[in-house]
A and B are shown apart, each in its own frame.
Chain A
Amino acid sequence: MAEDTTPVVGAPVSAPQIGVDEWVSRSAERILGRGGLLGHAERQWLRLPGTIRFLGLFGLAALIPVATSDDYLIRIGTVTLVFALLALGLNVSVGFAGLLDLGYIAYYGFGAYGYAMLASSKFGVHWQAWAAIPVVVGAAILLGFFLALPSRRLVGDYMAIVTLFFGQIFYILVTQGYRISLLGLNKDIGLRSANWDVTGGPNGIANVDGFRALGVTALTDHAYFYITLIAVALVFAGLHFANRSRTGRAWRALHDDPLAAQVMSMRVNWLKMLAIGVGAGIGALAGTINAALLQGAFPDDYNTMVLITIYAVVILGGAGSLPGAILGAIVVIVGLEALRPGTEFSDWTSNGRGLFYVTILIILLTTLRPLKRLAAVLGGLVAFGVLMHVIIGAAWSRGVHGGILNSAGTFSGGGSIGWAIRHWLVLPADTYQVGGYTVYNYLVVLLIALILCLTLVHGVWRDLLLIPTIWLGALVYEARLIEEGSGATRFLLLGVGLIVIMARRPQGLLGKPRVEIV
């Protein structure tokens, strides 16, 4: 491979490079893992049989609707599970077989639209779930086989671009599919014969039935949560065994070296088609659930942005790792929801805020070791904030005690925590929304710059830089995110998060680094 194998010049290397002799010789250390209580708990957990771990986690997830009666939270849980399902499906082609399938969104959309056409008043067809889902999923698998045909000839990035076209073509067909004419696809010019409406165009298909079987229709959020959870559990278990089967091993071989796999008399083309077909089936299953959940199929739920989100989930969790797909979905979807302005999740008596600060604290607790270092950073954070508060408060006429609640000019609220935040941060009386107050735009840029600089420095400098970065992050959150109308800053931070996580852990959160012995 002509990929980069440049010797690292000048860049400080904290850990040995994967595959070099030193890395091999330190393998025992890594297996022993981290010390302390957390490391002990981790080892005990990993020692449990897989079945118990699996049942334990899914049992715990099943208790969520029992623990809370908040429909909004359950809805977020369901969306997270749908994305987990999607990520599991994409994992088959991307993670297992190593095929960069950028047309995956087409299968998701195909499932949704397929179900919407079979169970809505659009065409007056109202199939029950037990009939509609297998038909749609089966058709999606066939579609996957068909669209996988080019992969017999194309490799690598060429395959990726062709599948990307498939996704784009699907989106265009769906948005334009409300005026299909007899002679040619709707011509702008010339003959206009009768136009048929198949997909509803930009408006999509509304009033889709909920899942219906044995005379019962699933309508509540609880029902969909459990349906999706069961689907995720079944797919998870199925893929777990598939991964350990002969086919799974063949996929891994294909992933590592298609040529060698072929030499070992594996049916490479069939394996590729199978991987994409299985992924397509799972994607379509997620699509049917999504259509029933939203009671409709709308084109913008199946565009490139969603594809990117699914990829983010898979890569973040670690391509090829099944628990990683679920963890990635939780991180991405819950993270995006927590940063969403003006939703119940954020207003939920400031639990969105709680989530924000607790997340930062957890990240600090798990990554900063030893304890002395953690204490130094936390102490520094408090001192830095108070210092900034005093300095800027003395120099700035607008005042630095504002914010905390949604109405501008509020100087109170939030109880003791609110008091602490007000005296730690620098919040002017009228925050973000007041009269084009663009200083926060520059603060966002400064925050991004600081975060990016964090990836460059090491050791004590990183700890020092961490303090203003976190403080500024909290300031941006309080002053800008909470009151922002559009989702711009939210996606901005998601983007920065992706860059930083990739720079820190290129193999994803739960993925295993590929070992190359050099």
Chain B
Amino acid sequence: MHALQLLGYFQSYQLTWSYLLDQLVAGLTLGSLYGLMAIGYSMVYGVLKLLNFAHGEVFMIGAYIGYFVLVALGGAAAPVVPVALLIILMLAAAMIGAGVLGVAIERFAYRPLRKARAPRIAPLISALGVSFCLQQLASIFFGTAYKQYNPFGLSGGTLTTPWHLGSLEVSWMQVIVILTTAFFMLVLWQLVTRTQIGRAMRAASFDLEAASMMGIDVDKVVVFTFFVGSALGGAGGVMNGLYLSNVFPLVGFNVGLIAFTAAVVGGIGSIPGAMVGGIAIGLLQSFAIGYWSSAYQDVIVFCVLILVLLIRPTGILGVPAPQKV
């Protein structure tokens, strides 16, 4: 018997390796979702130095688009197309819809402020306004009740039933989420490092003014950034729905807060940082739930994050901004 177990802190099953590994896999899956969404925050911040609080709502709308595609194609229990195609279609529709929404938000809520050289706090309030709007629109149009993705019905439940790998339990859904995220990360990385627009984006995020003087169309870069970031957010929404099985108008707010935290912890403005931060938070949350308390999971996450930020004020992979005088 373990000493902690004698004290009554842990149940015996909590002290086995397989339980630990289960938490690890769950944490990785959750972390991939957070990371995918954190990238949206991080990319926009990198270019515009703007906290896009409306990103959570983009995620929510993406999740709804995925849901409606799912319903239109016959629902999870009896889809009219193969499951793989179904998931790809859901992702594609959600990404395009969310991307367009992100561009629209930038056009109407942020660009006027950018042109007017508004104080930095003004876009924050616009973002809150957008957030309010989208949440209420969703509750008017889609209702406040939870919409069920019902992933347990997909191809007879084989996707959500865990299979055993030694003492480890993994489900196909977790594999899908992790692999899809890895795929998107890879594509994004190629996009950012290998293409013309990616280079323009890096230049703009390094110094917006200098970039515009070098003949880079900054507005185009901003639109691109919003589109890509929001599209990834929309994909995150669909996968959140597939993994956690539901969507409701306030889903974006809760996930958004955590994902935003992930972006900050990873070092806001850094794309790999967002992914690292997301996975770190996913693991932290999963272990907090598994070994301590689900009621206080967020308190634990937040306290650890405060400590991380106090030790490394610019996040794990963030580069300290040099202060020019």
Question: A residues bordering B, Cβ < 8 Å?
Answer: 2-9, 11, 17-19, 94, 100, 150, 153-155, 157-158, 160-162, 164-165, 168-169, 172-173, 176, 183-191, 259, 304, 308, 311-312, 315-316, 319, 441, 444-445, 448, 452, 455-456, 486, 488-489, 491-492, 494-499, 502-503, 506-507, 514, 516
Contact = CB atoms under 8 A, between A and B. Distances in A.
A291 B314 CA distance: 39
B246 interface: no
A231 B325 CA distance: 42
A489 B136 contact: yes
A100 B11 contact: no
Given A162-B306, A259-B323, A190 B117 contact: no
Contacts of B209: 2, 4-6
Interface string B296-311: 1011001101100110
Interface residues of B, number: 71
Nearest to B311: A153
8 contacts: A6-B218, A100-B121, A153-B310, A162-B306, A491-B136, A492-B136, A495-B133, A516-B117
Given A444-B140, A495-B131, A3 B305 contact: no
Contacts of B299: 169, 172-173, 185
B294 interface: yes
Given A168-B298, A185-B293, A188-B294, A7 B212 contact: yes
Most buried by B among A153, A315, A445, A502: A502
Interface in B173-223: 206-209, 212, 218-219
A483 to B, nearest CB: 14
Contacts of A172: 295-296, 298-299
A6 B133 contact: no
Given A5-B209, A308-B128, A506 B309 contact: no
A514 B119 contact: yes
B10 interface: yes
**A-B pairs with the 9 shortest C-beta distances?**
A495-B132, A506-B118, A191-B8, A498-B129, A495-B133, A492-B136, A165-B302, A503-B112, A506-B122
The binding surface of chain B is classed by DSSP as helix
B283 to A, nearest CB: 18
A496 B129 contact: yes
B116 A506 contact: yes
Contacts of A495: 128-133, 136
Contacts of B164: none
A190 B313 contact: no
Nearest to B205: A2
B139 interface: yes
B126 to A, nearest CB: 4
Given A4-B117, A498-B125, A168 B302 contact: yes
Contacts of B126: 498-499, 502-503
B108 A455 contact: yes
Contacts of B124: 100, 311, 315
B309 A162 contact: yes
B125 A94 contact: no
B7 interface: yes
Contacts of A502: 109, 113, 118, 122-123, 125-126, 129
A3 B47 CA distance: 9
A189 B14 CA distance: 10
A11 B307 CA distance: 45
A9 B111 CA distance: 12
Q: Which of A176, A189, A496 has the most CB of B within 10 A?
A: A189
B108 A4 contact: no
Given A8-B115, A507-B118, A187 B219 contact: no
A284 B126 CA distance: 27
Given A492-B132, A514-B119, A158 B264 contact: yes
Contacts of B125: 311-312, 315-316, 498, 502
Contact of A161 (B136, B219, B260, B323): B260
B208 A6 contact: yes
B302 to A, nearest CB: 4
Contacts of B319: none
B20 interface: no
Contacts of B310: 150, 153-154
A150 B114 CA distance: 30
Nearest to B295: A176
Contacts of A319: 119, 121
Contacts of A311: 124-125, 128
Contacts of A161: 260-261, 264, 309
Given A157-B264, A161-B264, 8 more contacts: A6-B212, A19-B117, A155-B313, A191-B9, A311-B128, A489-B136, A499-B108, A502-B109
A452 B122 contact: no
Q: Which of B131, B209, B268 has the most A CB atoms < 10 Å from its CB?
A: B209
Contacts of A4: 48, 114-115, 117, 208-209, 218
Nearest to B9: A190
B80 interface: no
B51 interface: yes
A9 B212 CA distance: 12
B104 to A, nearest CB: 9
A153 B124 CA distance: 23
A184 B325 contact: no
B323 to A, nearest CB: 6
Contacts of B313: 153-155, 158
A352 B124 CA distance: 30
A165 B10 CA distance: 28
B154 to A, nearest CB: 30
B122 A445 contact: no
A489 to B, nearest CB: 7
A511 B318 CA distance: 34
Interface in B34-59: 45, 48-49, 51
A2 B208 contact: yes
A172 B300 CA distance: 11
B137 interface: yes
A119 B110 CA distance: 46
Nearest to A307: B128
A50 B108 CA distance: 39
Contacts of B295: 172, 176, 185-186, 188
Contacts of B208: 2-6
Contacts of B89: none
A497 to B, nearest CB: 7
Interface in B269-312: 292-296, 298-299, 302-303, 305-306, 309-310
Q: Interface centre among B7, B121, B141, B305, by most A CB within 10 Å?
A: B121
A174 to B, nearest CB: 11
Contact of A11 (B10, B115, B137): B115
A3 B129 contact: no
Interface centre among B51, B114, B132, B135 (most CB of A within 10 A): B132
A158 B49 CA distance: 12
